[in-house]
Amino acid sequence: MFEKMRLQKYLSRCGIASRRHAEDMIREGRIKVNGVTVTEMGTTVSPGDLVECDGEPVAPGEKPVYIMLNKPAGYVTTVSDPEGRKTVMDLTDGVNERVYPVGRLDYDTEGLLILTNDGDFAYRNTHPKHQVSKTYIAEVEGEPSRETLQKLRDGVMLDGRPTSPAKVELIRQKKRCAVLRITIHEGRNRQVRRMCEAVGHPVRSLKRVAIGGLRLGSLKPGEWRYLSAKELKKIEVDRNG
């Protein structure tokens, strides 16, 4: 049994979508309550109400699951793609719950992506106010100087405002490219690629290797595994700490 709650919260509790995405679904007229399409954001639902999404009844109760996927390049991090590209959902064979990605990685970016059916968790982890740090390995063109690396750390202008302080280490200098480890605390669109481009070192390849203290480890591209309770707790602590 659940208490009376707003429709978008109910949908996220049921694992249909994050709260923000649930609002879009309501606006799009995909949700019915007791047979009536609802587009009002203030609607509440009570025990006994029949809620439907795209004509299918939805109810809380599915156990929450949390998955770590090593996303390969060449996949979009949406549940479906209007252009018909492969999505990360194509890699979740064996997952019985209706999970969806928490946050995004670019089509060409590899690495650590979390999927869940827990809308509240997804909401907490994508809200700009409570961003957990994200660590990337970037192979960039050229030979970044010390000054350039410092610029990346201090902040570069993107969309008219500086990026917040980042941790940047040169891991390896090769002939015409360098490997950097970059940790950022924001989630702006294509942030790492644009930061590197802005200082004259376009990214050749990008991989996310950690979210807070959660590490990708030895998971191969395209593989997934469940997160342990300990790992989950770590993310919550990193976010709040």
Structural tokens at position 224: 């997934």
Please list, in sequence order, all residues whose beta carbon lies within 8 angstroms of the beta carbon of residue 192, skipping any fewer than 6 positions away.
136, 138, 182, 184, 203, 206
Query: How far is 184 from 193, CA to CA, in rounded Å?
Result: 12
Pick 7 or 180: Cβ nearer ligand URA: 180
Contact pattern for ligand URA over residues 92 through 131, marking x by CB under 6 A: -------------xx--x----------------------
Q: Are 77 and 71 in contact (CB under 8 A)?
A: yes
**Least separation, in Å, of the C-beta of 190 and ligand URA?**
4
Task: For 89-124, give the secondary structure using H, E and C.
Answer: HHHCCCCCCCCEEECCCCCCCEEEEEEECCHHHHHH
Q: Which member of 22, 69, 192, 216 binds ligand URA (CB under 6 A)?
A: 192
Residue whose CB is less far from ligand URA, 106 or 141 = 106
Tell me the closest approach of the beta carbon of residue 217 to ligand URA, in angstroms.
19
Instruction: Give the position of tokens 């156990």.
Output: 63
Task: CB nearer to ligand URA: give 43 or 183.
Answer: 183
User: What residues contact 61, with CB distance under 8 A and at least 6 apart?
Assistant: 14
C-beta of 207 vs 234, nearer to ligand URA: 207
Alpha carbon distance 42, 135 (integer Å): 38
Residue 193 within binding range of ligand URA, rule CB under 6 A = yes
Candidates 123, 115, 100; CA nearest to 19 is: 123
Query: Judged by CB, which is closer to ligand URA: 32, or 190?
Result: 190
| Selected range binding ligand URA among 53-61, 118-126, 191-199, 231-239, rule: CB under 6 A | 191-199
Binding range to ligand URA, per CB under 6 A, among 66-74, 114-122, 149-157, 188-196: 188-196
Residue 197 engages ligand URA in binding (rule: CB under 6 A): no
Instruction: Please give the positions annotated as active site.
Output: 106
Contact 115, 97 (CB under 8 A): no
Which helix or strand (DSSP H or E) is residue 237 part of? helix 229-240
**Shortest Å distance, C-beta 76 to ligand URA:** 11
Number of residues that bind ligand URA (CB under 6 A): 8
Look up residue 19 and give its two tokens: 């709260």
Smallest gap, in angstroms, from Cβ of residue 183 to ligand URA?
11
Q: Does 206 bind ligand URA (CB under 6 A)?
A: yes
CB neighbour class for 180 (10 Å; exposed up to 12, middle 13-18, buried from 19): buried
Shortest Cβ distance from residue 77 to ligand URA (Å)? Answer: 8
Residues of the shown chain interacting with ligand URA in the complex, contacts defined by CB under 6 A: 105-106, 109, 190-193, 206
